[in-house]
Amino acid sequence: MMDLTGLETRPAQTWGGLRLVPLVRREPIEDLRLHAKVYGDELSMVHLPDRTLYTAYVPHAFVASWTGDGTPAAAYGTQLGQPLRHMCIRTRRRMARRVDRNRLRFLPLHLAVEGYLALHFGGPVVAWEEWSRQALAHGLSSRCEEAYTGAEVRGLEDALKIFEIHPGQCGLLLYAGDTLAGAFVVPHPEDYRALHPTLVRDMYGELIHDYALFYPARDFPAVIDESAVASLADLRAEAVRAERDWAGFHDSVMAAGLLRAPARVEEVYRMGRFTLSRFLPAFERKSENHIGETVTDADGRTAYLKTFRLSEAQVRRGHLLSTLAEHGWSLPAAAESLRVGAAELGLRLERAGFGHLLRQDVLDGYRKALSERGRRTRAQ
């Protein structure tokens, strides 16, 4: 389970279809600080350890500063860049790159998305007859996913300008149509104030874009027991109770999908007593699935968190790849575990965008078999 010890939920603020739920720390983390470096309108290309390339639009990076002896560290402050008038490519060495003895630059969310795109990237491990030569020689080849920037999510830019930042606020849970879009947590309130505007530069999935456009946020009114109020102190106590009830409902119901333990966690970099990691979900169908990255301390408590809500199509692709890998890329074995025929699984792979992995004659045979089965069913 994700450990959000030390973070407390505060009353939400709504704007149209968006709900922003503040997260507050009573005791800020002093020896780890974050600041933003804004790059402008350009593409970035990252060389990965296996010699593949990750190319994406990178509007900003985070720079983490820490101390080895636990003494307070200071953030450098946000650096603003001017948009470029032409398209250019910025080459980066790694997703997470050490820029100084106690400073690490990493690309927020791109760490997590690269982990999702690299899921079972090597392709079939056994030369089963169904797989194409391309699949056996090059694996999944190039993969791409689409996302919206926060500027394209209706109301988000206005909400970030209008909403109050709470004293001690170190994080935020963002909902669209009361569907959890993502989480953002930083070590220190000063970091959050500096990085709050960068949420409009982040990536958001198609589901979140559509929910913000078409679905309003529900109203959760605070109910005060009038019979228990006879003084200002009683009214204050009722307000505290209502706030506590809201926090309990939010943490146990609305944020339950995020708080489930991730299926896979990969350590990316050690920073003194802190560890930068990224995680993947179990790809459960018809359920919330979040990818993301964290910085945790030696006790596993979260100092930094940023997540991305996968769409149902993205979950489907992850589920198919994970099932194939679990069964050694044997189509009959994977189909049996999914309780479908091999032909149905083959065409499901094609609809998910993995048709190039299968031999063309095999795909044609699957289509013919299903077509004949359909004709026999209609004849009966």
Contacts of 53 (CB under 8 A, 6+ apart): 45, 46, 47
Report how far residue 285's alpha carbon sits from residue 375's, in angstroms, rounded to the nearest whole number: 30
Look up residue 167 and give its DSSP letter: T
Residue range 22-33, pLDDT digits in tens: 999 989 999 888
Contacts of 303 (CB under 8 A, 6+ apart): 29, 32, 185, 186, 187, 274, 295, 296, 297
- Burial of residue 231 (CB within 10 Å: 0-12, 13-18, 19+) is exposed
Report how far residue 159's alpha carbon sits from residue 46's, in angstroms, rounded to the nearest whole number: 32
How high is the pLDDT of residue 71?
59
For the chain, which residues score pLDDT lower than 70? 1, 38-60, 66, 68-97, 99, 378-380
Residue range 310-332, pLDDT digits in tens: 999 999 999 999 999 999 999 99
How high is the pLDDT of residue 80?
35
Give yes or no for a contact between 189 and 22, defined as CB atoms under 8 angstroms apart: no
How high is the pLDDT of residue 329?
94
How high is the pLDDT of residue 380?
61
Contacts of 174 (CB under 8 A, 6+ apart): 18, 19, 20, 21, 156, 180, 181, 182, 183, 184, 199
How high is the pLDDT of residue 303?
94
CA angle 263, 268, 274 (to 5 degrees): 100
Residue range 273-312, pLDDT digits in tens: 999 999 999 999 888 999 999 999 988 889 999 999 999 9
